[in-house]
Chains A and B, each alone.
Chain A
Amino acid sequence: MSQFSDLVGVFEESGVAAAIRESDTLFPFIESVHVIAICLVVGTIFAIDLRLLGLASVGRPVSRLASAILPVTWGAFAVAAASGFLLFISNATKYLANGYFDAKIILICAAGLNMIIFHAISAKDLPQWETQAVPPLRARLAGLLSILLWITVVACGRWIGFTMQVL
């Protein structure tokens, strides 16, 4: 754990972190990029989740929709993660002490785990059901869980802003 704190300290004391912390415009600028990227991540994931629930794009096979949308999702996720990392290092110690920040990271991991489990177990027989308007229950559950997890990720993100003063 102390090694982790040391590593966090190295980032927090870096010139980049100090620049973000001390500038009046850098933090809001990176935060705006973070919001745009997160919106694209969440919105595009919702489009796939709604397909899994049988509520949207029902005429499209699931794998076809996913392969069209996921490059956008992953691109946006990379930007969200990079901008999020920059925001984090500007006040790393305070963020780590904030319960909503910790919850947000855990919930993002949970959403990733949900996706991995869906791919590994539920989607093995994907070709058999992916053209159905309403997919089987386990796919609908994965979609519903994903939507709920991402809603809580966004909620935690907003609550961070109300429970810690960074500027």
Chain B
Amino acid sequence: MEALLTGFSKWLAATSLSHTIQTVTWIIPTLQTIHILCVAIVFSSAVLVDLRIFRLFERDQRLSVITQRFLTPIWPVLVILLITGSLLIIGEPRRSLVNITFYLKMALLIVAVLLTATLQRAAVASPGLFEDNGRRLTGQALATLSVLVWCGILFAGRWIAYTQAGL
């Protein structure tokens, strides 16, 4: 598997797009800046919704309204993250594709996306979600998990730079 990924990384690194990203010095920091700004938007939106579940943010508005306001914009921003992330991989394939931290980040991302999408759907389906005493604890457990998973994604994202092959 690793040989396959190394081979694919070498092929990707030899493409003209990868060559351009590697040689034009401002492209990678610019892509990383856009990537981090988008991470800031997605992460903050998720955290504010999680705080609402804990009744620590705008508790006079129902959870369905808060998810509508803060989770709906997450999806187009995730598309920009996917594009900038893909371009960064094309520019430096070995940095991510032959790096266990990158796969940890992607696994956590899948969990975060599923969690966020489920929460958004559930809140729309039942506007008073997690409001009654019985379900409040479930909501708080999910909100804690959401914050931890997003923090894990950001942590892993930074550690990709420190765990890449050849270091």
Contacts and interface: CB of A to CB of B under 8 A. Distances in A.
Interface of A: 28, 31-32, 35-36, 38-40, 42-44, 46-47, 56-57, 60, 65, 68-69, 72, 151, 154-155, 158-159, 161-162
B154 A36 contact: yes
B47 interface: yes
A32 B155 contact: yes
Q: Residue among B36, B42, B44, B157 with the most chain A CB within 10 A?
A: B44
Contact of A31 (B30, B42, B48, B158): B158
A46 B41 contact: yes
Nearest to B36: A154
B20 interface: no
Q: Residue among B28, B47, B51 with the most chain A CB within 10 A?
A: B47
B44 A28 contact: no
Interface in B37-80: 37, 39-45, 47-48, 51, 57-58, 69-70, 73
A72 B48 contact: yes
A28 B162 contact: yes
B154 A39 contact: yes
A38 B40 contact: yes
Given A28-B162, A42-B37, A68-B58, 4 more contacts: A47-B44, A47-B70, A69-B48, A154-B40
Contact of B151 (A36, A43, A158, A161): A36
Contacts of B44: 39-40, 42-44, 46-47
Given A39-B40, A40-B40, A43-B45, A28 B159 contact: yes
Contacts of A36: 43, 151, 154-155
Contacts of B43: 36, 39-40, 43
Given A36-B151, A43-B45, A158 B40 contact: no
Given A39-B44, A72-B48, A72-B51, A57 B37 contact: no
Interface of B: 25, 28-30, 32-33, 36-37, 39-45, 47-48, 51, 57-58, 69-70, 73, 151, 154-155, 157-159, 161-162
A37 to B, nearest CB: 10
A161 B30 CA distance: 12
A36 B157 CA distance: 10
Given A56-B69, A68-B57, A35 B36 contact: yes
B58 A40 contact: no
A35 B154 CA distance: 7
B33 A32 contact: no
A49 B52 CA distance: 20
Contacts of A28: 158-159, 161-162
B29 A44 contact: no
B162 A158 contact: no
